[in-house]
Amino acid sequence: MRQRRTCALCGTETAGQVVLSLPPTPCANEFVVDKSQRQARYPLDLQLCPSPHCGHLQLAGVVSPSTLFDNYVYASGTSPSFVQHFSDYAKRVIDLFGLDDTSLVIDVGANDGTLLRQFAEHGSTRVHGVEPARGIAEIAESRGIPTTVAFLDPAVARDLRQRFGPAAVVTANNVFAHIGDLEQATAAVRTLLGPDGVFIFEVSYLADVIDNLLFDTIYHEHVAYHTVRPLVGFFARMGMTLFDVERVPTHGGSIRVYVASGDRSVSPRVAELVKSEEEAALFSTSTYESFGKRIRAQGQSLREQIASLKGKGWRLCGYGAPAKLTTLMYSFALDADDFEFIVDDSPLKRGLFTPGTHIPVVGAERLAEVSGRRYCSLVFAWNYYENIVASHESWSGAWLNPLTLDLLDGKAVY
Ligand SMILES: [Zn+2]
C-alpha cells in the first residue's frame, strides 16, 4: 500500500490532511472460495487537498493494482437501463459534435463495447475500445467492436494514434475515479485526440455522494472523488479546457465532463457548478466531519431496525453483492450473524463468500425456496433497488434500502 503525499490533481502537499476515516476493509471485490481464508484489511482514509484553488478529495492509501485485481470478480453491467443510458449518451455526443462515418471514437475502459456499439449504430462512426480485461475485451470483439487489450498509457496511445489517426472523441466512463496517475492518463488521452478533439468522461459526483450519503461508494478501487473545481485547474495545467459539465443519474449521481484538447468557449454551467460546490462547503474539513457523523447515525438506525425485525421473528438476507457492499458491512458493523445469504444475479459470484464477512452468495432461486417465510432482504445494490423489487414481485418477503432505511413490506407482513 502506497501513501499519497501530494494531491493527484494539483501536486499540493496532502500528508496529514485526512478528513474522513472509514473502518479498514478487505479489497471490495475480493470474494473468496474458502470462508476460512484470512483476508488482509486496508485503511479507508480520505484526504482533502488544502489548496484554495483545488480541494480534491482522494484516498490517502493506494492499494497496488495487483492486490486489487488479482482476485477480481468482475460482472459486466449490461442491464437494460444501462444500455438505454449509453444509447442516449451516444446520440447526444453525435449531435453535439456532428460525428459521422469519418469520425473516430475511442472508449477507454471500454468494457464489453456497449457504449461503442451505440456510437457505431447511431452515428456510423469508426470505433475502437481500450480494455485491460482480456475476457471482457473478447466479448466486445465478438460483437464487432475492435478492442486493444491494455491499460491506456502514453505508449499505447502513440500506437493507436499511428494506426488509426486522431480521434474526434475519447470517452471514459467510471474509470477516472480508478486511476492513480491522472496526469499520465490524461497525457495519453491528449495524444489520442485531434486538434478539435473532445474528451468526455463520466464519474461519480462527490456532491451527490455527500447529499445522498452514498458513502459505500468509497472503497479502494476508487482512489479519487471528483468535484468540478479541482478538475478545471487540472485540465488547464494539462493544456486542455474543461468546457462543459452535465449532471447525470448514473450510480446515484454522476457528472459528465467535456474537455477540449485545446481552447474552446466555456459553458456557464461550469462556473455555476463550481459556485454550488463552494456553497456546499465541499472543500471544507467540517463537511467531512458531519458526513462521518451522519454515516455513524445511519449505521445505528439500521442496526436498530435489523434488531427490531429479528425480534419480530424475521430473518435477514441481502440482494446484490456489488463492491460497495464491503464498505457498508464494515462501516455499519454488519456480518455473517446478520445475513443468512446474499443473492446476486451474476453467476460469477455465486458459490463464493463476501470479502472479509464471508456470507454465502447465492442465485435468485434461493428466494423462491424461502418464500412464504418472514425474510427481509437488504438491497446492497441500491442503485437497482426499483428494478430488483419489480423483478421479484411474487416474492413474499420485505425489502429494505440500507441508505434510506425505507422498508417495503412484502405480502407476509408483520
Ligand atoms: Zn489539489
SS3 305: helix
pLDDT of residue 49: 98
Low-confidence stretches of the chain (pLDDT beneath 70): 69-80, 410-414
Helix spans in 312-364 (H): 324-331
Residue 5 CA to ligand 1 centre (angstroms): 11
pLDDT of residue 413: 45
DSSP state at residue 370? T
pLDDT in tens, 354-401: 999 999 999 999 998 988 788 999 999 998 898 899 999 888 889 999
Class of domain 306-408: alpha beta
Closest CA to 349 of 71, 76, 75, 138: 75
pLDDT of residue 414: 45
Q: In what order do the strands lie in the sheet with 147-148?
A: 147-148, 126-130, 104-108, 167-173, 193-204, 254-260, 241-248
- Grid cell 414481485 is found at 393
CA diameter of the chain = 67
Please provide residue 171's backbone torsions phi and psi, each rounded to the nearest 5 degrees.
-115, 155
The three grid cell numbers given for residue 294, joined into one nine-digit string? 451522519
pLDDT of residue 136: 85
pLDDT of residue 78: 55
The DSSP-derived string for 37-82 is -----EEEEEEE---TT---EEESEE--HHHHHHT--------HHH
- Helix and strand tally (H, E) in the chain? 13, 19
Residue 26 CA to ligand 1 centre (angstroms): 27
Residue 331 CA to ligand 1 centre (angstroms): 27
Residue 234 CA to ligand 1 centre (angstroms): 8
Residue 243 CA to ligand 1 centre (angstroms): 19
Residue 17 CA to ligand 1 centre (angstroms): 11
